[in-house]
Each structure stands twice: as structure tokens, then as C-alpha cells.
Structure 1
Amino acid sequence: MDTDLISRRLSALAHDHRVPGAQLAVSHAGETWHREVNLTPGAAVPIGSITKTCTATVAMALVSDGDLELDAPLGDHLPEAPDALTLRHLLSHTGGLPSDQEDVRATSLRRYVRETVRSLDPLHRPGAGFSYSNIGYVLVGHLIEIATGMTWWEAMEEVLLRPLGLRAHFTVGRDTDRSIASGHAVNAATGRVVPVRQSLAVVDAPAGALAASASDLVAFGRMLAGGEPHLVSASDLALMRTPVDDAEPFGMADGWGLGLALYERDGSTWVGHDGTADGTSCHLRIDPESGTVVALTTTGSTGFALWRDLVGDLSDAGLPVADYDPLRGMALPIPPPRDCAGHFRNGDTEYRVRPAGEEVLELTVDGEPFADLSLFDNLVFAMRDSDTGDTSQTGRFLRDPRGGGIEWIQIGGRLARRQVREMA
């Protein structure tokens, strides 16, 4: 592994993408290496949705101990939960739950579940598809509270962080850490970089409230690869890394296990998760075969683009990390079918698709311009961001297997279901 090349490229990419700070840590061939740009090695950065993998690991530790069951109806513990929903569904985002809910006023997971879950409009029956859901992980967090008798914050520290030898850093809740690194909104067009505050709701903590350094994430990743401490049984760790049937996270990853995304490269499969908080972008990749772990934290909203560029540099330096290629398999452009147009909804979020020419569709989200869509085979589309012009993201339309009409749109792994049929 050419660490000099990696160091140079990390510094150059942080400058090019105007990322204020970054940490890169690697565990490879029995050695651990790290490099920082304008951050100390131990600085805790809000890791966003990588928190979900931590929440899933605590849940799986409880499964290994016999305190929770993967396929028992959630109603055994949560009477408010929809029929047939299980912990396996929640961990793999196959429960059919919406992603988020606006105007959340509850201040505890228990109250949120009691007041909200019964009124959710499901996207599909449990187990019938994949739709990334923060709400699902709020339910997992509350299930952990019921099983342990502790708050999610306490369980995270006692079951996971302390055994790993890591200090707990939370962005929300009673133990909020004010010393965590600040995220920054970066305007790539103007070069303006502005610090931002974390805005996560307290009840969303199990989905995104942790902060950690890249070295912390590497320690976590080594455990998920089978290293010490052995908090989850070997068989349950293998389940976390095994693709779940019907979990197709198009636009996010090549597959999904239990709390872990799957990424394919040259016949090998890596696992991990990406996380975006306010003004931060963080990435964790684990090769279970070799035990190699790579973690990147950044304190800029353009950190995701930095990561995409860095993956190629890591390969050039002798570390071929797997990542998701959103443009893989796109071949022939096609004219949009007439039934692509319409209103689609995921929870409180409304997507509207309408023609913007013979070969282009316009997508708005909650009434605001979001992207232009160019359609390819299999109803997959490339997206051109309305604000930045970025063309690296993809999505797709999905037909109802019973009637054949387009019933869903999937963007960023999230499904939105058709509400009103329109003629193009």
C-alpha cells in the first residue's frame, strides 16, 4: 500500500473539493495507518447514517444473547407495530416503512412509536422490497430500549462503544457532546464554505446521532470483520454481511444485509455504510475475507464527491476498495413511457414527475425543482441535479408486478408510491 500516494491525494482532493477537514484510517495486512487534513486524529465527526450500522450491531448482539429474535413479530414487544413486521425487516430496510416523518414533536422513542407508527402509510407489504427508512431504525432503537431496560444512548455505550474501547459522542440527546467537529456547507460553484449546526431530531438518534473519528470506525469495522471483541456471534455476524432476499438498494449499493450495505468489485464483496450529517460525509468499507477496513470522515458537504474520487486513488495505491457504481449497466437511452408522469409519495415527501421535452422528465420534490431525468433500459434513469448540474446519481421506476403499470419511483434507495395517475 503506497501511503505516500494516498496522503498526497487526500490533501489534494480536500483542497479541490473545498473540504475543511478529513480523516482517513486504514487497517490492512495487520497494520493500521491514518492521515488527517486539518483535523486531529481523535476528533469526533458526525457520522450520520453509519449510526444505523452501530444500532444494528447492538440489536444483533441482543439476538446473539437470546434477548431478541430476528423473525418474531414486532407486536410481541411493540403493539403499535404493523402486522407481520419483524426485526429482520427493519434491519434490512424491507419493512415497507416511509423514510421520515415531518413535524415530529415526540421527545422519546417510546412516545414517538406510540403516537406515530399506527398512522404510517406503508409503501409495500413487509419483505416485498427495499426502501431505506430512518423510521425503521427508530423502531429498532426502541426495541433495544425494551430489551435492555436502558435508553438507546446508554445501550449504545454499554453494549458497543465501551467494549470497543471507544468514547461515546452523540450529536443529540441528554449526553450531547459539544466538542464534536463542525460540519460545513460547501457551495462548489461560489467556493463559499459555511459552518452548520447539527439539526437531527432527538427521536431520530438511532438512525444518525453518533460522532466518531476515522480510527474509531476502523476499530468498529475490525469487529464486524470478525475481530475482537466478539460482541456478536460468528453466525450472526455472517447474517449481517449476507444479502437479504428482495433487498435491492438501487442507487445506494449492490445489496443489503442486516445493517450493512454490500459493495461488489472484481468478484469480491465488501460491506459497510455511508453517512451524511449536516455538513459532513463519512464512509466505512470492510473486506470480510482479508479483514481490511477503510474509513473516511469529512467535515464538508462535498465529502461524498471527495470519497468517489479517492476510491480510484486507493486502488492505484494498492488498496482496491469496493464502492457502488450508480451508472453501471446503463446502455441505451429510451423515450420515457407515458405512465412515468405522476405524483409519488414516501411518508410526508411528495415527488412529482412530468415531461420536460421528448426525451427528458422533470422531477420536483415537495414542489421544488430537483433533477432532470434521462431514461434508459429497464426504466433506470440518470439524474442531472437542478442546482449543481451533477450527473452521478441514478434512480429507477418500478412497475406493479400484478398490473404492469408504473407504481413506484426509487431515488437514493427510497421508494415513493404513486398517488394519482396522470396522462403525459
Structure 2
Amino acid sequence: MLETTEFALLRRIAAEQAERRAPSLIAAVVRGQDLLWSGARGNVDGSAPTADTQYRIGSITKTFIAVLVMRLRDEGLLDLNDLLDKHVSGTSFGHLTVAQLLAHTAGLTSESPGEWWERAPGVDWPALVESMSREPARHRAGERFHYSNVGYGALGQLIAELRGMSWTSALAEEVLAPLGMTRTTAMPAAPHAPGLAVHPYADVLMPEPTPDAGAMAPAGQLWSTLADLARWVRFIGGDTAGVLAPETVAEMRFPAAVEDGMAWTSGYGLGLQTFRSEGRQYAGHGGSMPGFLASVVVDPTTTTGAVAMTNTTAGVGVSALTFDLIKLVDEYEPALPVEWVPQPSVPSAMLALTGEWFWGPIPFVLRLLGDGWLDLRPPSGTGRGSRFRPVREDVWEGLEGYYAGETLRVHRHADGSPHHMDLATFVFTRTPYDPTAPIPGSLDLGTWPTEG
């Protein structure tokens, strides 16, 4: 990167580490498949932390759990609308759906009953289930967003039940190994940073405990490195290496619930936090455990993302830091548009679909995208529009907005030329209200006035 860009990034993390009194702080910026920049301040055991130094990543663990659940869904082993009871029996909250647990809309208590679980040795699954039997729901299922660490403990058990192995084994085999994330582990492996607390009114440190969280481990157990989390940022942005389909990760990024009401600057999808800032939408997750703070964020549109980790319990704004790093890079060195390359040819039956169509009197324009995809939207750019991916011959599925999940069908003349399109029962024709098309409601009331 340009020296001015690198200095601006270093200045930002240096100010964060000094002003917020972080024992150590490490950060990186990613774009596409490239690690553009990394920097560190402070020290771990007398030396500057490196891209191979482990930090505990807290609730970023939940994103890995969610990926394992979505793999089970894509394999047909569960449905997101399944009740937990279908796969994990014997709980007092088996009536909740998998999707509600993923999106924190199940209404469960935020923390497990008993001791402060983040600082105490964890109990096993039967003990957690027994303790939850005395806990009433905090909210009606589906009513609102309410963050629940317990819900992810349940999802970890669901993974174990359906895979016949621990969630950590499934994670290592199905996700970490294919992505080359060899330094992401359930317990710390040297070199790693110690968990520390900074006194609020004096520049002194106190060690924090880092116990095994037991049945609550799926909510925040993992340790990772800058290099591994940089790869995870790429994954969240869509570079999935076959671990999940990019479309599934996009589904995870889509907000299922809003965290901050009318402001809608932050929300939650299926295991991923979503954010809106200055006209851009981001995805990722924050993490905190005693002694550690971490954040991963990416703008899927530009693929610019950032990672930040520190070994202090509180005080460092790692989430704001990651956003600032992304914005600095995009301001100083914006990504170039992907170079346009013409296609050598397109099927004649597809080319015949292009151009102007009408929904009643309203004009739409259909364009061909790569790999048989379509784009249909009003020429003004406002109103209902979507991309459509091919399902089978002359059938496509909508991906965005009003038409997400809806079916587009092309009906042809005997000679193969397109006659009309049906989109979720709406009939699109080549001319406004084509009288030869099967438009509901009949056109017998009249025709367009003409002369001659």
C-alpha cells in the first residue's frame, strides 16, 4: 500500500492502544484475497504480537457455530424452521426453532443460570439443561431481538447430536482445515496473549481467568490469530472455498432482526451481525471475554474488511476501530472496479429475452448477466427489481427485494420466441397489456385508443 495509507492505519491503531491503554493491540485490513496491511502495538511477553499470536475471540465463535448449522441445513439434515426438540430432546425450550436460536429471536435468557459463566469452569450439557428448566422465557419467541449466549450453547449441542462428534471436532474437520485456519483452537496454544484487566484509574494490570466454558463454549470459547481471522473475514465476504455456497453466506448476512429499533444501524442475521453506516452495509461479529476483545467486519460489496484484537477486558473500541480501518483504506486507496470482459457468445433463446417488458403499463428492462442469470428492474432504477438465478430451462428464482424467492417463468411461442413472462402471478408482456397474453381480469373492457 502507499506509505501515506500505511501511516494513517498505523496512526489509528497507535492512538487506540495509547489512549485506551491496551496491553497489546493487533489489526489487519483485507480486500478480496489479499491481506493489504497489518500492524501491532504494545507487547505480549515482552515482544510485539505477530500474525501468529493467539487471542481469545469470544462471541466471534458464534459465527463458526452458525456456519456448521448452515452446512447441516444445506445437506438436508435439518430445516431452519425445525423445532429444537426434533434434534435435541429433553430441554425446557425445545419449542424454539433453529432459526430463532441463530438470530437471537428465541426469547431465551441472555446468560446461563448460576455463576458468571465467562469466568467460571463450565458445566456439561445435562447440567445446563437442568438449570434452564427453572428459567422462564424473557420474551415471546420471535417477538424481538434479545441476545442469548445460551441459545448458542444449544446450537453447539445440536451440531454434536447430528454429527456424532463434538462441535469442536466438526469445526476442525469441516471448516478450519479446508480454509487453512490451523491456529484457531478451543484452548490456547503458544504463542498466545494472556487475558488481562487494566485498572480503571491506574496503569496496572491483573490477570483474567480463561477457563473452559463447557456447554457454553459455543458462545465464546475459541482462540485465533490475525492470519486466521483475516481468512475468516474473506469467508464472511463470500470467499467460501466450498465450505458453504456464497449464496448461503449471503443468506446469513441478511438481517433477520434489528438490534437498535428505529435507527437500524445494527442488526443480526443467521449468526452474523449486520451494520449500516454512511450508506454502506457491513457484516461480521464482535467478541468479548474477560481479558479479551475482538472484532471482524467486512463490506461484502467492496470485499474490504478488517480485524482487530486486544488482550484487555474493556475500554478498547475494537468494533469502531475495524470500521475506521476499512474507511481509511477505501478513502486513501479505493478498490478499482472489476474489469469488464465481454462474453464470447450467449444462447439465442436467452438473447431474445433482453430489452423492454411491461408489467401492465409499467416498463421494465431485462438484461443478461453471467452464467444464465437475469436482471429485471424499472429503467428508472427505482421500484421493484431483482437479479434472478437459473433453476431450470426458462425458470429463474428471484434473489432480492420484493421478488426474493419468487419464481420467474418464460412462456414461449411455438417457434421458441418469448411471448410473456410470469413472475409471482404478475404477467410481463412486450407491449403494455398485450391482448394476446393471459392477463387476469380480462382486457375486454377496452383497448388503448388509437387512430388510423
TM superposition score normalised by structure 1? 0.68
- Evaluate the alpha carbon distance shift between residue 39 and residue 179 of structure 1 in structure 2; reply closer, same or farther with a 3 A threshold: closer
Supply the distance in 2 between the matched residues of 1:182 and 1:148 (Cα, whole angstroms): 33
User: Which digits, 9 at most, give the CA deviation of each residue in 1:321-347, with x for residues without a partner?
Assistant: xxxxxxxxxxxxxxxxxxxxxxxxxxx
Supply the distance in 1 between the matched residues of 2:210 and 2:260 (Cα, whole angstroms): 27
| Contact 1:84 1:126 (C-alpha < 8 Å) held by counterparts | no
Where does structure 2 lack aligned partners over 5 or more consecutive residues?
A: 42-47, 333-452
Q: Note if 1:138 corresponds to 2:149.
A: no
Give the CA deviation at 1:232. Answer: 1.5
Give the CA deviation at 1:12. Answer: 3.2
**Pairs within 5 Å for 1:25-424:** 25-28=28-31, 30-32=33-35, 33-37=37-41, 38-81=48-91, 82-100=93-111, 101-103=113-115, 109-112=124-127, 114-170=129-185, 172=187, 177=189, 179-199=191-211, 201-244=213-256, 246-248=257-259, 254-302=266-314, 304-305=316-317, 307-308=319-320, 311-312=323-324, 315-318=327-330
Give the CA deviation at 1:159. Answer: 1.5
Give the CA deviation at 1:31. Answer: 2.8
Supply the distance in 2 between the matched residues of 1:269 and 1:61 (Cα, whole angstroms): 24
- Evaluate the alpha carbon distance shift between residue 29 and residue 179 of structure 1 in structure 2; reply closer, same or farther with a 3 A threshold: closer
Give the CA deviation at 1:282. Answer: 0.4
Supply the distance in 2 between the matched residues of 1:98 and 1:315 (Cα, whole angstroms): 36
| Contact 1:160 1:231 (C-alpha < 8 Å) held by counterparts | yes
User: Which digits, 9 at most, give the CA deviation of each residue in 1:144-203, with x for residues without a partner?
Assistant: 00111011211121121111111254455xxx6465321210124212222322145222
Supply the distance in 2 between the matched residues of 1:89 and 1:319 (Cα, whole angstroms): 38
Supply the distance in 2 between the matched residues of 1:313 and 1:165 (Cα, whole angstroms): 25
| Contact 1:200 1:208 (C-alpha < 8 Å) held by counterparts | no
Give the CA deviation at 1:288. Answer: 1.2
Partner of residue 394, structure 1: none
| Contact 1:196 1:279 (C-alpha < 8 Å) held by counterparts | yes
Supply the distance in 2 between the matched residues of 1:297 and 1:181 (Cα, whole angstroms): 10
- Evaluate the alpha carbon distance shift between residue 107 and residue 45 of structure 1 in structure 2; reply closer, same or farther with a 3 A threshold: closer
Give the CA deviation at 1:307. Answer: 4.8
Supply the distance in 2 between the matched residues of 1:24 and 1:168 (Cα, whole angstroms): 16
Give the CA deviation at 1:8. Answer: 2.6
Supply the distance in 1 between the matched residues of 2:198 and 2:265 (Cα, whole angstroms): 25
Partner of residue 384, structure 1: none
Give the CA deviation at 1:277. Answer: 1.4
| Contact 1:34 1:215 (C-alpha < 8 Å) held by counterparts | no
Partner of residue 23, structure 2: 20
- Evaluate the alpha carbon distance shift between residue 319 and residue 171 of structure 1 in structure 2; reply closer, same or farther with a 3 A threshold: farther
Supply the distance in 1 between the matched residues of 2:302 and 2:245 (Cα, whole angstroms): 19
Supply the distance in 1 between the matched residues of 2:183 and 2:52 (Cα, whole angstroms): 12
Where does structure 1 lack aligned partners over 5 or more consecutive residues?
A: 321-424
Give the CA deviation at 1:258. Answer: 0.5
Paired letter, 2:98: L
Supply the distance in 1 between the matched residues of 2:301 and 2:231 (Cα, whole angstroms): 16
- Evaluate the alpha carbon distance shift between residue 259 and residue 249 of structure 1 in structure 2; reply closer, same or farther with a 3 A threshold: farther
- 1:23 match: secondary structure: strand
User: Which digits, 9 at most, give the CA deviation of each residue in 1:18-70, with x for residues without a partner?
Assistant: 21112111112553122222212111100011111111111111211222221
Partner of residue 355, structure 2: none
What is the alpha-carbon root mean square deviation over aligned residues? 2.6
Supply the distance in 2 between the matched residues of 1:56 and 1:300 (Cα, whole angstroms): 26
TM superposition score normalised by structure 2? 0.64
Give the CA deviation at 1:248. Answer: 3.0
Paired residue total: 316
What is the identity percentage for the equivalent residue pairs of Structure 1 and Structure 2?
29
Partner of residue 377, structure 2: none
User: Which digits, 9 at most, give the CA deviation of each residue in 1:80-121, with x for residues without a partner?
Assistant: 342531110001000000011224799665424542343331
